[in-house]
Structure 1
Amino acid sequence: MELDPGTVLFWLKKLLAVLALPPLLPLLPIVLGLLVLRRRPRLGALLAWTGVALNLLLIMPFSVGWLVAQVEYPHPLDASRLREAQAIVVLGAGKRSHAPEFGGETVNRLALERLRYAAMIARQTQLPVLVSGGAAAGETPEAALMERLLRDEHGVAPRWVETSSRDTRENALLSAAHLQADGVHRILLVTHAMHMVRARAEFEAAGLAVIPAPTAWLGNSDRAPSDEVLPRLPSQNTAYAGWFALHELLGQLAYRWSR
């Protein structure tokens, strides 16, 4: 893997994200508190209990639901705007490197949710499709796996396959270059509702008019926790939703500061 400045920055962002998100985020003050507990018992106890409280906030339905509502795009696709679009753009969301039942690598479940929705819209509208997603460490580009799945399992053959992007900003910049070269300036953007605000801002900054086509909400239409995804008691679902919402909140802040 070539360690150019862009690659170094990419992996540095990944490292910072690991530290700033669960499960490590609430563990850091707990560990630090235990380390200083003997010399500074009050400070140590405060840090440790802060970590415990933070962990609870990131798994409790009431607090996670509030956080989701701050980040998640609330509206489904406006069907009246379908005629405005010139193309559909669907963003990658990751892949499974060990998928022997599929002969090797394949897209992960998040990408499947996006691809399923994009395929439905493509069949309804007959709009051309762009798939976007690279390979951070030199493996098979995610967009190549997305193209194969759309073509073989949904009968939708993407017109453009953008295989070099490593994050949402590069998704936008590199996809815009493909689209604008073919005279496309108005797109339906398919991604998770939780990711839509950040993704839409990046694609608009790249010069494209965006019609949001979100999918897979973690909250409900009232912007409150959905009982299906966020049950009334802490669970793996609330923990995941808390992680996703905090990830997007930090991502929005980071992208805003880096403009």
Structure 2
Amino acid sequence: MSLDFALLLFWSKKLLATLLLPPIGPLLLIAAGLLLTARRPRAGRVLAWSGLAIAVLLTLPAGSALLLGGLEARAPIGAAELERAEAIVVLGGGRRDNAPDFGGETINRLTLERVRYGARLARQSGLPVLVSGGAPGGGIPEATLMRQALEEEFGVPVRWAERASLDTRQNAQFSAVLLHAAGVRRIALVTHAAHLPRARAEFEAAGLEVIDAPTAWLGFPGGTPRALDLLPGAGAAYASWMATHEWLGRLAYRLSR
């Protein structure tokens, strides 16, 4: 059996990210500190308490907002900007394998948020749509599921479906091949606001001019916290996970260039 290096690299990155991202990352710090306490009590306590402090901070909206501050675009795409685009590109964000209500598999929450906004922009502009996302774990590619959702549920036709990519870099590289063949050079790129800076960099490196089309902001509305936003919660923990994921992704992007 031949070794698929690209797939091996993808899962290696996934494993490393799992170890670094919350909740595992802070828990590993706590565990390491507790183990170190027997030999070096002071250093062990510092490490364990640091892990606990990070874990708590990541459940606070103020903590997630701090992480998201340097990531999320501040404004949605404008009508004049959308008119400049030649196509709309919607990036996959994952799928839900256990979806018996949809016949087996469907797009997950992240992808649905992007697909919904992409459909809105497509109806507003009449631009052709490309969806991008593969199937690293086997099964139906994300792009196929995205196409089904757009055409069957939103009534928006999809011109191109890029089904081979494993990550954001391949989203850009493989999509650029399809778009360049069709004479498209300027795109409206639809993805989460926090993911957009990294995605834009990859698509520009692939030779496309990118117009930002962010959706699904996770930070404070208008950058101002409300009273309930100061309480810890699962929403803040999720936002912190995504923000941390993006910062690690940006670091990996810089190191690989």
Q: TM-score, normalised by structure 1?
A: 0.95
Paired residue for 2:236?
A: 238
Report the residue type matching 2:133 in the other structure.
G
Q: Gaps spanning 5+ residues in structure 1: where?
A: none
Deviations, residues 193-248 of structure 1 (Å, cap 9, x unaligned): 011111111101100011111101112453345x49x8220000111111111111
Residue 77 (structure 1) shift: 0.4
Per-residue CA deviations over 1:142-183 (Å, capped at 9, x if unaligned) read 100000111100111100000000100000000000000010
Separation of aligned partners in 2, 1:133 and 1:143: 5
Unaligned runs of 5+ in 2: none
* 1:175 counterpart = 2:175: yes
Matched residue, 1:153:
153
Could you tell me which amino acid in structure 2 is paired with residue 165 of structure 1?
S
Deviating beyond 6 angstroms after TM superposition, the runs of 4 or more aligned structure 1 residues are none
For residues 46-72 of structure 1, what are the alpha-carbon distances to aligned partners after superposition, in whole Å with 9 as ceiling and x for unaligned? 111111111122122222211111211
Q: Relative to 1, partners in 2 of residues 1:3 and 1:138: Cα closer, same or farther, differing over 3 Å?
A: farther
Output the CA distance in 2 between the equivalents of 1:223 and 1:201. Answer: 24
Whether the 8 Å CA contact 1:179–1:185 is kept in 2: the answer is yes
Amino acid at match of 2:59: I
Q: Structure 2 matches for 1:175-194, cutoff 5 A?
A: 175-194=175-194
Instruction: Find the aligned partners of 1:19 and 1:75 in 2 and give their Cα distance.
Output: 33
Counterpart in the other structure of 2:252? 254
What residue in structure 1 maps to residue 214 of structure 2? 214
The aligned amino acid for 2:170 is E
Structure 1 residues 51, 170: closer, same or farther in 2, change over 3 A?
same
Rounded to whole Å, the distance in 2 between the matches of 1:132 and 1:199 is 12
1:3: how far off? 3.1
Distance 1:62 1:191 in 2: 23
- Whether the 8 Å CA contact 1:69–1:224 is kept in 2: the answer is no
Measure how far apart 1:37 and its partner are.
1.6
Aligned AA (2:212): P
- CA separation in 2, counterparts of 1:11 and 1:137? 9
Matches within 5 A, 1:101-116: 101-116=101-116
Shift of 1:82: 1.8
Three-state SS of the structure 1 residue aligned to 2:70 is helix
Larger deviation, residues 215-224 vs 237-246: 215-224
User: Is the counterpart of residue 96 in structure 1 residue 96 in structure 2?
Assistant: yes
State the SS of the aligned residue for 1:59: coil
Mapped to 2, the partners of 1:233 and 1:4 lie a distance apart of 45
**Who is 2:63 aligned against?**
63
Q: Conserved in 2, the CA contact under 8 Å of 1:135 and 1:166? A: yes
CA–CA distance in structure 1, aligned partners of residues 224 and 13 of structure 2: 30
More divergent stretch after superposition (199-208 vs 68-77): 68-77
Please give the secondary structure, in 1, of the residue aligned with 2:73.
coil
**Secondary structure in 1 matching 2:229:** coil
Which is further off, 121-130 or 78-87?
Answer: 78-87
Deviations 1:17-60 (A, max 9, x none): 00110001101111111112222211211111111111122122
Q: Secondary structure at the match of 1:189?
A: strand
Contact kept? 2:64, 2:219, Cα under 8 Å: no
Q: Is the 8 A contact 2:62 2:229 kept in 1?
A: no
CA distance in 2, matches of 1:151, 1:172: 23
Percent identity over the alignment is 58
Which 10-residue stretch deviates more, 101-110 or 50-59? 50-59
Q: How does 1:22-101 map to 2 (within 5 A)?
A: 22-101=22-101
Q: Is the 8 A contact 1:86 1:186 kept in 2?
A: yes
Kept in 2, the 8 Å contact 1:133–1:166? The answer is yes
| TM-score, normalised with respect to structure 2 | 0.96
| Counterpart residue type for residue 202 of structure 2 | E
Whichever residue aligns with residue 250 of structure 1, its letter is: L
